[in-house]
C-alpha cells in the first residue's frame, strides 16, 4: 500500500478531489499555504493499493494544471528613485508536488 501526499493549488483541489472520488479513491483534504507566492494550497492524502498507484497519479497529473498568472511584485525599481510602484510579472501557478510513501500498516477503525 502507498500513501500519496499531493500539494495542489486551491483552485485545482475541488475538481481533483471529485475526479479521484469518482474513480474510487478516498481523499483526505488538509488546508495548507506556502510557496513563494504565499498562495493557498491544499494537501491531499490518498491511500492506494500498489496496483492503483499509477491511476491515481494520472488523475493528479491531469487535473493539476500549471498555468501562467500575473502578479504584482514587491520590488521597488531603482530607476524610479525608491518609490514603490506595483509591477506585474508573469509567473507559473498550479501544478502539483507529489510525495509517495510506502505504508507499513493500515487499519481503518
pLDDT in tens, 27-62: 999 988 776 556 678 999 999 999 999 999 999 999
Displacement of CA 79 from its chain's centroid (Å): 37
DSSP assignment of 22-58 equals HTT--EEEEEEEETTTTEEEEEEEEEE-GGGHHHHHH
**What mean pLDDT is predicted for residues 19-34?**
91
pLDDT tens string 74-88: 655 555 555 666 667
**Nearest CA-CA partner of 13 in 26, 31, 34:** 31
Give the chain's mean pLDDT. Answer: 83
- Return the pLDDT at 3: 98
Residue indicated by cell numbers 488538509: 30
CA atoms within 13 A on the CB side of 77: 7
Question: What is the model's pTM?
Answer: 0.74
* Range 16-19 contact pairs with CB under 8 angstroms and sequence separation of 24 or more: 16/44, 16/59, 16/60, 16/63, 16/64, 17/44, 19/59, 19/62, 19/63
Q: Which domains does the chain have, with CATH numbers?
A: 2-102 (3.30.70.120)
93 has a pLDDT exceeding 90:
no
DSSP assignment of 83-101 equals -----EEEEEEE-EEEEEE
Amino acid at each position: 500500500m502507498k500513501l500519496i501526499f499531493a500539494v495542489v493549488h486551491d483552485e485545482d483541489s475541488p475538481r481533483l478531489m471529485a475526479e479521484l472520488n469518482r474513480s474510487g479513491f478516498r481523499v483526505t483534504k488538509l488546508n495548507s499555504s506556502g510557496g513563494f507566492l504565499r498562495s493557498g494550497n491544499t494537501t491531499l492524502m490518498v491511500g492506494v493499493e500498489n496496483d492503483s498507484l499509477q491511476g491515481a497519479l494520472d488523475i493528479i497529473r491531469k487535473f493539476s494544471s500549471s498555468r501562467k498568472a500575473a502578479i504584482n511584485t514587491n520590488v521597488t525599481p531603482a530607476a524610479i528613485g525608491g518609490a514603490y510602484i506595483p509591477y506585474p510579472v508573469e509567473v507559473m501557478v498550479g501544478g502539483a508536488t507529489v510525495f509517495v510513501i510506502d505504508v507499513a500498516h493500515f487499519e481503518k477503525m
